[in-house]
Amino acid sequence: MTPDRATPRSGGRLMDLVPHLILMLGVLVFAFPIYVTVIGSTWDAATIGRGNLPLTPGGEMLNNYASAWSESQGNRVMHTPVRIMMWNSLVMALVIALGKIAISIISAYAVAFFRFPLRMVFFWMIFITLMLPVEVRIIPTYEVVANLGLIDSYAGLTVPLIASATATLLFRQFFLTIPDELVEAAKIDGAGALRFFVDVVLPLSRTNIAALFVILFIYGWNQYLWPLLITNSADMETVVIGITKMIGNGEAATDWNLIMATTVLAMLPPVAVVVLMQRWFVKGLVDSEK
Amino acid sequence: MQRRVIFDNRALPYLLLAPQVAVTLVFFIWPAAQALWQSVHLQDAFGLRSQFVGFENFAAVLSDPNYLQTVETTIVFSVSVTVLSLASALGLAVLADSKIRAAAAYKTLLIWPYALAPAVAAVLWMFIFNPDIGILGRALNDLGYAWDYRLNDGQALTMVILAASWKQVSYNFIFFLAGLQAIPRSVLEAASIDGAGAVRRFWTITFPLLSPTTFFLLVVDVVYAFFETFGTIHALTHGGPGKATETLIFRVYQDGVVNHDLGGSSAQSVILMVIVIALTAIQFRFVERKVHYS
């Protein structure tokens, strides 16, 4: 249980095994529920409902995924086809991630590279949003969105979540490290503020943008309370909400096979993004919270 | 706080700020102001008229035994989730950071659960611990232990605590790992040469040097347990059985959306805002001392 990196001497073979065993146990605790879910998605509803789910794959995989993906009717419950819900989740995650990055990078640029009246007022106003997670002001924000007629729309799902103090602060911090000489050189060359932004600042920010994208994509994909309030029609449901709606009150006699297939599909995009972009994402996560 | 060389342009900075400021005003400042306004007003059943009532809504909320019960549940829940996820993440991070074979593989295998939604984590736990279909849920019952988190208060709370902690471990793990990698090896080696064993090195060097990370994570985890676990609870227990797993944020939703008690719900929102602002302020005071902004 203790760090052992400074001592080259080892305390015997058994002691060397203990860290591996603990780490493997940790990995197992995280992997086991996923394994069971993947296995469950290859069996029929009756086998799962009886509570005798084997730990080896069954033969219903293609049926289950095809049915969950495109049909709206299982054997026992109705559901929105997963392809529609996945599309909604994808739109939501992409618009939130790209939108947050876009409006944050330009506002950070304004705060860092210009001096103008009320600059600090704006800065603090953005900063305050850091303190108000959407969950806290959920009912009044819902009312604003309802009054604007944005219920059941992509705009209602995404725009209220698009302001980002964290991203703005991250970009601003990074912009403050861009050397003055670079700005001076650009000015001597006759480049204006916009030209400098496009030709110098954007390319320099690539890594930061990629890292933020991963974090914000996952943030958007995993939203729960907000889409729960904003979407009423089945066509606008996101996939995370869809899963819990399919489960309902969790009786044994439900389409567990389809629910498990849907869960696997719902996990795939964010997990893929994290695994494929691991290095950027870890760096970005740690940097953005500094 | 300020660059030396800047651009001169009158209108451009305002244009660049406009989208962010517009969204902030419409969807953050205005609703927050609304919550404040509603929290000191009483609306009639049709929402047509409202009357200024001062702190009556707050008094009503804070003297409601149900609310105080919810506060207690929230504290038990948040403290458990924070301690559990911090402790297991620290243990795993320390091991994965040591000179061990396949450390990179362990890291990847422990990082990916970050991608799961809290509600999805809850659903995965349901697949395992559901008393009818879950492998472990059935096993517990077969062993003679009456396990049904849908009926038993304590079991329900245990279930949401475990599912919520499970999901947060990877986040803490990532930060602890980064914190551990920032500790100079030479310090640990010096201590080792001086004869300090692994346990002693951990408590006298590693743990104190990790304290900024730990403190940061403490605040993040409390905020997570307060707000983001709405999905976990909604998916797993719906706050039940009874109100056994109802946390503060779940109750805001319940009172505002389900029961349409705007004044009470707003007063609760304001209380939550105060808690969040206090937490953030504590965090920033701490960060200010540690990090130097030029």
Q: What is the pLDDT of residues A177-220, one digit of tens each?
A: 888 888 888 888 888 888 999 999 999 998 889 888 988 999 99
Q: Which two tokens stand for residue A104?
A: 């944050």
Residue A130's pLDDT is what?
A: 67
Which pLDDT value is given to residue B161?
95
Q: Helix-strand-coil percent breakdown of chain B, rounded to 5? A: 75, 0, 25
Cα dihedral A222, A226, A229, A233 sign? negative
The span from the CA of A164 to the CA of B19, in Å, is 11
The pLDDT value recorded for residue B1 is: 55
Q: What residue type is assigned to position B80 of the chain?
A: S
Residues of chain A with C-beta less than 8 angstroms from the C-beta of B111: 274, 278, 282
How far apart are the C-alpha atoms of B110 and A30, rounded to whole Å? 7
The pLDDT of residue A250: 64
Contact check, Cβ <8 Å, B13/A267: no
Q: Above pLDDT 90, what percent of chain A? A: 31
Kindly identify which residue of chain B lies nearest to residue A21, measuring between CA atoms. Answer: B95
| Mean pLDDT, residues A82-101 | 94
Nearest CA in chain A to B121: A33
pTM confidence score: 0.88
Interface contact flag, A290 B291, Cβ < 8 Å? yes
The residue count of chain B comes to 294
Distances (CA, A) of B111 to A26, A166, A283, B206: 11, 22, 13, 21
Question: In a 3-state reduction of DSSP, which class is residue A162?
Answer: coil
- What is the mean predicted confidence (pLDDT) over B31-60? 78
**Of B116, B206, B269, which has the smallest distance from its Cβ to A136's Cβ?**
B269
The 3-class secondary structure across B170-231, one letter per residue, is HHHHHHHHHHHHCCCHHHHHHHHHCCCCHHHHHHHHHHHHCHHHHHHHHHHHHHHHHHHCHH
Percent of chain B surpassing pLDDT 70: 95
Q: What is the tens place of the pLDDT at every residue in B73-83?
A: 999 999 999 99
Q: Do A30 and B109 touch (CB under 8 A)?
A: yes
**How far A53 CA sits from the closest chain B CA (Å)?**
8
CA B231 to chain centre: 12
pLDDT of res. A8: 46
Nearest CA in chain B to A279: B108
Test B23 with A159 for CB contact under 8 angstroms: yes
List Cα–Cα distances, A24 to A12, A28, A195, B173, in angstroms: 20, 6, 52, 15
Of B114, B199, B277, the CB nearest to A131: B277
B188 and chain A in contact, CB less than 8 A: yes
Is A271–B112 a contact, with Cβ atoms under 8 angstroms apart? yes
Give the mean pLDDT of chain A.
84
Contacts A194 to B, Cβ<8 Å? 12
Give CA–CA dist A274/A214, Å, rounded: 7
Best probe of the B interface among A132, A161, A198, A202, by most B CBs < 10 A, is A132
Report the pLDDT value the prediction gives residue B46, as an integer from 0 to 100.
63
pLDDT of A289 above 70: no
Q: Which of residues 10-69 of B touch A (CB under 8 A)?
A: 10, 12-14, 16-17, 19-21, 23-32, 34-35, 38
- The minimum CA-CA distance between A160 and chain B, rounded to whole Å, is 5
Check B21 against A40: CB less than 8 A apart: no
| A31 contact residues in B (CB cutoff 8 A) | 109
**Nearest CB to B175 within list A36, A271, A286:** A286
Residues from chain B contacting residue A174 (CB–CB below 8 Å): none
State mean pLDDT over B198-209. Answer: 86
Asked if B4 lies within 8 A of A180 by C-beta distance, the reply is: yes
Could you tell me which chain B residue has the CA closest to the CA of A267? B116
Closest listed residue to residue A140, CA positions, set B38, B143, B23:
B38
User: How far apart are the CA of B33 and the nearest CA of chain A, in angstroms?
Assistant: 9
Which of A13, A50, A129, A135 is the mutation pick for testing B, counting most B CBs within 10 A?
Answer: A135
Chain A CB contacts of B5 under 8 Å are 180, 183-184, 187
Pinpoint the alpha helices (H) of A130-164: 138-147, 154-158
Cα–Cα distance, A260 to B120 (Å, whole number):
11
Say if the Cβ atoms of B26 and A23 lie within 8 Å.
no
**pLDDT at res. A44:** 85
ipTM of the complex: 0.85
Of A27, A111, A225, nearest to B106 by CB-CB distance is A27
- What residues contact residue B54 under an 8 Å CB cut-off, 6+ apart? B40
The pLDDT value recorded for residue A4 is 47
